[in-house]
Amino acid sequence: MSKAGAFDLASGLGGKIEKDDVLSAVDKYEKYHSDFGGAEKDRKDNYTDMVNKYYDLVTSFYEYGWGESFHFAPRWKGESLKESIKRHEHFLALQLGLKPGHKVLDVGCGIGGPLREIARFSSTSVMGINNNEYQITRGKTLNRVAGVEQTCDFTKADFMKMPFSDSSFDAVYAIEATCHAPDAVGCYQEIFRVLKPGQSFAAYEWCMTDAFDPNNQEHQRIKAEIEIGDGLPDIRSTRQCLAALKEAGFEVIWEKDLAKDSPLPWYLPLDTSHFSFSSFRLTAVGRFITKNMVMGLEYVGLAPKGSQRVQSFLEKAAEGLVAGGKFHSHCPQTARMYYHPPADNHSHSGDVKTGTGGNGGGAAVSGKMGFNNPADDILYSVF
């Protein structure tokens, strides 16, 4: 089960970074970002260091407030955040047409919440790839607790340079993870390489929507808050993601902005005007308590120096995500389905079909769209 207590939060802060080095790591991480003089080129050139520092610093916070699955989900009225996240993961498995015995890859798997859920739901074997040692260590512990060590595992590696042979997997998915890639085409080409021809890739992607205005200072401010608070070198537009997928060799079969049809907005858990007992730690009151708890833990030395600053840039990210969602300039729930055509099969035109899903024979990708909207999902499926 996920870490739940204040001591667990404090003991996990900093991940694999030595406690005395956490403050220095926070300094270095912040300097990658525009508010501290950083540039997009520096973030992309040093993405491995930046993203690793980010997840060492924030994973304990994520698990404390969000659970084992670090992603958003479209949500029905009366449905808890946890229930919506699980349904979102099941939807992905169904769109991929996963069957018992399939070998599946989770690209950028975090601590493995989705891969454990999808493996149990579909009776498949799921490998997670992640370049953060702390998250993999934590994920393996949770695998043992859940009793899924035989079907779920992790590989520590950069998903830009995967250590797998060509055509290794029956299906691949990514949930709000490839947004960390410095080069979208290179990332998707690696996924294309390890996926068996004739099979599918599904993803939920963080994207800027057409509502984003690069000349609008407020939009740029919100984008910068999301980048520093979520460890992103940049946030690509939906159009850029689609172009990169096609350049990598995929056929985009169908897409759907899941945020548009969601009865509740994807950013609701982070909206301070919303209150929920089931996700109390994400509410304004819960976050106020966490802020003061972290302050106290750092003061008495149970949490490393710099912990309050991590909590602060996560708060900024939450504010940016809510603002971006309301502007509909950013979306983390663009769902897309991609098909890896066999070398001798060019029968699919690659035309994008918009709808709620296909027959499960393709792949789905969901990304965040809006000015910032993590609930816009674009889904592509082979018919």
CATH number, domain with residue 11: 3.40.50.150
C-alpha–C-alpha distance, residues 1 and 41, integer Å: 39
Band (156; pLDDT cuts 50, 70, 90)? very high
Contact present, 142 and 172 (Cβ < 8 Å): no
Residue 371 maps to a domain: no
Asked if the model's pLDDT at residue 369 lies above 90, the reply is no
Residue 378 maps to a domain: no
Asked if the model's pLDDT at residue 362 lies above 50, the reply is no
pLDDT of residue 5: 67
The three-class DSSP label of residue 255 is: strand
Asked if the model's pLDDT at residue 333 lies above 80, the reply is no
Q: Which of 11-20, 142-151, 274-283, 361-370 has maximum average pLDDT?
A: 142-151
C-alpha–C-alpha distance, residues 189 and 283, integer Å: 40
Contact present, 127 and 104 (Cβ < 8 Å): yes
* Torsion from C-alpha of 41, 45, 48, 52, nearest 10 degrees: -40
Give me the amino acid identity at 57: L
Residue 367 maps to a domain: no
Asked if the model's pLDDT at residue 366 lies above 60, the reply is no
CA 158 and chain centroid, separation: 15
Residue 43 maps to a domain: yes
Joined together, the tokens standing for residue 274 give 């919303």
Contact present, 57 and 22 (Cβ < 8 Å): yes
Asked if the model's pLDDT at residue 293 lies above 80, the reply is yes
Residue-wise over 156-178: b if at least 16 C-beta within 10 A, else e? eebbbebebeeeebbbbbbbbbb
Instruction: State how far the alpha carbon of 145 is from the alpha carbons of 139, 270, 271, in Å.
Output: 10, 29, 32
Residue 356 maps to a domain: no
Joined together, the tokens standing for residue 372 give 């910032």
Asked if the model's pLDDT at residue 291 lies above 60, the reply is yes
pLDDT of residue 344: 63
Nearest Cα to 130, choosing from 142, 145, 121, 122? 142
Q: Residue 343 phi/psi, 5° resolution?
A: -60, -30
Residue 352 maps to a domain: no
How many domains does the chain fold into? 1
Nearest Cα to 61, choosing from 306, 290, 297, 304? 290
Where residue 294 falls (left for φ over 0; alpha for ψ -120 to 50; beta otherwise) is alpha
Residue 74 maps to a domain: yes
DSSP lists the bridge partners of residue 201 as 172, 338
Q: What is the pLDDT of residues 226-252, one digit of tens each?
A: 999 999 999 999 899 999 999 999 998
What is the DSSP secondary structure assignment for residue 127, as one 8-state letter?
A: E
Asked if the model's pLDDT at residue 206 lies above 70, the reply is yes
Contact present, 329 and 211 (Cβ < 8 Å): yes
Q: Could you tell me the residue range of the domain that residue 242 belongs to?
A: 6-340
* Sign of the torsion angle spanned by Cα atoms 72, 75, 77, 83: negative
C-alpha–C-alpha distance, residues 206 and 178, integer Å: 8
Match 């060590």 to its residue by tokens.
149
> By percentage, how much of the chain surpasses pLDDT 70?
87
Instruction: State how far the alpha carbon of 80 is from the alpha carbons of 76, 176, 280, 367, in Å.
Output: 8, 20, 11, 21
Joined together, the tokens standing for residue 335 give 């769902």
Q: Strands 353-354 and 251-257, how do they pair?
A: parallel
What's this model's pTM, rounded to 2 decimal places? 0.89
Band (346; pLDDT cuts 50, 70, 90)? very low
Residue 350 maps to a domain: no
Asked if the model's pLDDT at residue 163 lies above 70, the reply is yes
3-state helix, strand, coil in the chain (%, to 5): 45, 20, 35
DSSP result, 193-213: HHEEEEEEEEEEEEEE-TT--
Q: Which of 1-10, 38-47, 195-204, 348-357 has the lowest mean pLDDT?
A: 348-357
Band (283; pLDDT cuts 50, 70, 90)? confident
Band (6; pLDDT cuts 50, 70, 90)? low
Q: Strands 364-370 and 329-339, how do they pair?
A: antiparallel
Joined together, the tokens standing for residue 91 give 């939807």
Joined together, the tokens standing for residue 295 give 């302050």
